[in-house]
Amino acid sequence: MMRRNKTVLLSVPYILWMVAFTLIPLGVVGYYALTDPDTGAFTWGNLQALGTYLPVFGESIAYSVVSALICLVLGYPVAYFIAQRGPVAQKLLYMLVMLPMCMSFLLRTLAWVALLQDTGIINQILQALGIGQMKLIRTPGAVVLGMVYNYLPYMILPLYAILVKMDNRLIEAAEDLGCTPVQTFLRVILPLSMPGIVSGITMVFVPAVSTFYISQKLGGADTVLIGDVIERLFKQGDNANLGAALSLLLMVLVLVCTGLMNRLTGSDGEDVVVV
């Protein structure tokens, strides 16, 4: 009984934190999403107006999915390489992956602006090589590049956490049973790393789908994501209630995607290895 009381007391700060900085803000967003901006009366009008922004939602999801898949393709080999090193090398490489995250997100994005702009370093190199100037900034590719660069560590870290715990004896057993390197990867390594893949995709998708600064700095006038719309509605004061409704829908979308991702790995997060 005393142990249970101690557990309850230790959980009080966390509960207070969640109530103050999660539940109450969500309640405020829900209140504004369901009230009229002029009269403050209850209304479904803000939610009914969301249909106008469905194409923007679709574009935001498309950018986020593409960025998450590219991060997976790039991050998986990096995470596997780090996991196969010795303890000292692992710590060094892990620190190098974390190092960009210690820099401001805004500065990292602005650095790519300096690199990709028409008079930037990359175009200057291309002109010096005789290739000529290329349109690198204000394109969909630049937006995806910015997302991949900023969120790639979110893919590498959970993958590394799973791969470093992998029992190498399973790989040796697969090889002894006649599996080729490709078969070993597909039947042993990939299934065992599936929880890390799901976690990595979730951790990249969630911030990418709600981003707005990357699209503003690296994208063109036609690149408008849902985060840009929400920021405009709140910042310019046009209709904060509609912005709250969009934020509420975005939160629901993120929760649904996270739930689906978690369901893919099962409740215990373990997969069956077939040799």
Q: What is the DSSP letter of 21?
A: I
Mean pLDDT of 160-184: 91
Is pLDDT of 26 > 60?
yes
Q: Where are the alpha helices (DSSP H) in 99-210?
A: 105-116, 121-128, 140-163, 168-176, 181-184, 190-192, 194-209
| Confidence grade of residue 266 (pLDDT, cut at 50, 70, 90) | low
CA atoms of 162 and 139, how far apart (whole Å): 35
Is pLDDT of 41 > 80?
yes
Q: Report the mean per-residue pLDDT for the chain.
A: 88
CA atoms of 226 and 52, how far apart (whole Å): 12
pLDDT (0 to 100) of residue 271:
43
pLDDT tens column, 222-255? 889 999 999 888 887 668 899 999 999 998 888 8
Q: DSSP 3-state assignment of 44?
A: coil
pLDDT tens column, 47-69? 998 889 999 999 999 999 999 99
Buried b (16+ CB within 10 A) or exposed e, 77-115: ebbbebbeeeeeeeeebbeebeeeeeeeeeeebeebeee
pLDDT (0 to 100) of residue 112:
94
Percentage of the chain beyond pLDDT 70 is 94
CA atoms of 24 and 83, how far apart (whole Å): 41
Whole-model pTM? 0.87
Task: At 239, list the tokens.
Answer: 């209709």
Pick the range with the lowest mean pLDDT from 1-5, 55-59, 162-166, 170-174: 1-5
| Confidence grade of residue 9 (pLDDT, cut at 50, 70, 90) | confident
